[in-house]
Copies of this chain bind each other. A is one copy, B any other.
């Protein structure tokens, strides 16, 4: 009996200790869980904010890209205008050259008469020009042969 009672006592004590240990253990676990939960929420919020920031950044870069496109297109338009102007200029030059050619042609036609004269003189072998004297007022001698 005595031993049994003492045994029971010991067992009871151990049980109590076990309960205490479990209780403490659980309490610690709970406490840690509290922290884990808080951490988890903080993490979630952080990620959300990160995502939003990334979004804003993208929107900002998007605007930059838009203006870049605008700029590039503007430059292209400018180049096109300059190209057209140059094209007009080239057309103008070609026309001028053409006109010049026609004018020269005309002159040549006019000069054709002179050339006729020259030819005439050249063919008239019976006519000869000769320098007779070196004097300031030199007489010109023409010898005429009848055909």
List residues of A whose CB falls within 8 A of some B CB: 48, 51-52, 54-55, 58-59, 61-62, 65-66, 68-69, 72-73, 75-76, 79-80, 82-83, 86-87, 89-90, 93-94, 96-97, 100, 104, 111, 114, 117-118, 124, 126-127, 137, 139-142, 144, 146-147
A51:B55 contact, CB within 8 angstroms: yes
Name, among A55, A86, A100, the residue most crowded by chain B CB atoms within 10 Å (CB to CB). A86
Residues on B with C-beta less than 8 A from A90 are: 86, 89-90, 93
Q: DSSP majority for the A interface?
A: helix
B124:A140 contact, CB within 8 angstroms: yes
> How many copies of this chain are found per oligomer?
2
Contact of A51 among B48, B66, B124, B141 (CB under 8 A): B48
Residues on B with C-beta less than 8 A from A118 are: 114, 117
Contact of A69 among B69, B139, B147 (CB under 8 A): B69
Q: How far is the CA of A82 from the CA of B81 in the complex (A)?
A: 12
Q: How far is the CA of A10 from the CA of B146 in the complex (A)?
A: 175
Contact of A76 among B62, B76, B96 (CB under 8 A): B76
Residues on B with C-beta less than 8 A from A100 are: 97, 100
Given A139-B147, A140-B124, A146-B139: A69 in contact with B76 (beta carbons within 8 A): no
B83:A72 contact, CB within 8 angstroms: no
Q: How far is the CA of A83 from the CA of B76 in the complex (A)?
A: 11
Residues on B with C-beta less than 8 A from A51 are: 48, 51-52, 55
